[in-house]
Amino acid sequence: MSRNLATARRLSGGARQFATIKADAYGHGAVAVAKALTATAHNSTIPSTSEKPRSAIDAAEFADGCADGFAKGCADNIADGYADGYADGFAVVTVDEALELRQAGIEQPILVLQGPQSADACNDMHHYQLWPVIHDMYQYQWFRQLAVRERLQAWLKVDTGMGRLGVLPHQANDLLAANHGVNWYGVMTHFACADEPDNPFTDQQINTFQSVRKPDHLVSSMANSAAVLAWPQARADWSRPGIMLYGCNPLDRALPAGVTLEPAMRVTAPLIAKKLLPAGAGICYAQTWFCPEDMPVGYVALGYRDGLPRSLDATATVCIEGHHCPVVGRVSMDSIAVDLRSVPDVQPGAEVELWGESAPIDAIANSAGTISYELLTSIRGRREYI
């Protein structure tokens, strides 16, 4: 993940990085991921966020800007690319997600993308030094009534066309022009079609965002993973890479030339049975697949109770001993059947990879008519961190 984050930083022109670890870090484990992307957990250093972020990585300038008490060795880490793989902050959706990180000892800024969902939550955000995103007028009023509001560094979210959370541009101008109520730190937006590099709507959103009258001392954030990869004009002070941190391509096409991402999750399950079935034998519920010849069929201990989509079609494969074996028949609650003709000598107990380095997650997502995000956040099982 750290190498994927370093790629995001490079493509962002050195902008600061909110590592997006919402939804339990897309199924990878939020606390474990946060610690893996925290420099201090590796006896390194992280940049100060008390000043406006640099526009590009510069080792000497960064060393001068490090917070008091941080070792000057951080400059050397940045110079060799090591520190590029650490997060400047983390982005989550809810206050509860943020509190889990704080209670685990994570000290970096934590951006709460949905902001507070109640007036009481505003006090929690102040107490735990969270960065709220204000996306609606009722939240703005809550913060105006907070006695310690001047100590909160809030972000204003502007709906530039996503049609989801965020105030409209004219409302943003009014809120940012007000000299009371909320201590603004930054302004942000989110893209609807950044995964389609040929879609002009992203340019429209960028132009709308740039038309907002943002005071010069505030920072800005636009780019999600797709924008980091395909829209250099969306560079700003902070980027918010998410799915790309976990090695998945969010674009509707191949990654740009020279860009590689490393899968962070590998899902495996054991082969628990094997039998030789005659030609014409039906496989699993509803008998949707029949053996075209006498053939070995294997059964893998993973099904839809474990988060594997029941909607897998005939293109789905798994990897066994380096061979891609088709999934045959319907996904059951506890198992799947696989065609073992390419590995006829494999025995029960063998490891079966559903996705990872040998079995791209996008392939199995396509066979289920879904996206990698859903698979990552749905899969369940015992985690082993390496």
- Residues with catalytic roles: 22, 285
Q: Which amino acid is at 45?
A: T
Tell me the C-alpha distance between 264 and 244, whole Å.
Answer: 10
Tell me the C-alpha distance between 167 and 258, whole Å.
Answer: 37
DSSP H stretches of helix in the chain = 2-11, 22-26, 30-36, 59-65, 73-79, 95-103, 119-127, 137-144, 169-177, 201-211, 225-230, 361-367, 372-378
Residues 6 or more apart whose Cβ sits within 8 Å of residue 12: 223, 228, 235, 239
Token digits of residue 192: 């609807």
Helix 119-127 vs helix 95-103: angle between axes, to the nearest 10 degrees? 20
Tell me the C-alpha distance between 169 and 159, whole Å.
Answer: 7
Helix (H, G, I), strand (E, B) or coil at 273: strand
- Cβ-based burial of 219 (10 A; exposed 0-12, middle 13-18, buried ≥19): buried
Task: Please choose, from the candidates 109, 88, 82, the residue with its C-alpha nearest in 3D space to the C-alpha of residue 3.
Answer: 82
Tell me the C-alpha distance between 135 and 158, whole Å.
Answer: 7
